[in-house]
Amino acid sequence: VENTEKFGSACAKARVIIGEKASVKADIRCLNLDIWGTLVGDVTVQDTLTLKSESELTGNVRSSRLVIELGARFAGSNETINR
């Protein structure tokens, strides 16, 4: 998702990437998730969720691994799950 605003929910059996100019309001379930832009919603990630520097995530997270780069912002709860 890049240079756009999206609403709703998404489910993918692969990697989802939210681009740096994207603003997404959705619940997401996927294998891996890289956030460069803004996401408001709950996420369930089977493997790795990565918040890139300058990204914003507001919502509850369930993931096996959470990587938060310096400068990223996260507001919500985090639950570590087994793969």
CB 24 within 8 A of CB 41: yes
- pLDDT class for 75, splitting at 50, 70, 90? very high
> The pTM is what?
0.90
Instruction: State how far the Cα of 33 lies from the Cα of 14, in Å rounded to an integer.
Output: 9
Instruction: State how far the Cα of 67 lies from the Cα of 11, in Å rounded to an integer.
Output: 21
pLDDT digit string, tens, across residues 4-46: 666 778 889 999 999 999 999 999 999 999 999 999 999 999 9
Q: For residues 63-81, give the mean pLDDT.
A: 97
Our measurement of the distance from residue 72's CA atom to the centroid of its chain's CA atoms, rounded to an integer in Å, reads: 12
Q: For residues 41-53, give the mean pLDDT.
A: 97
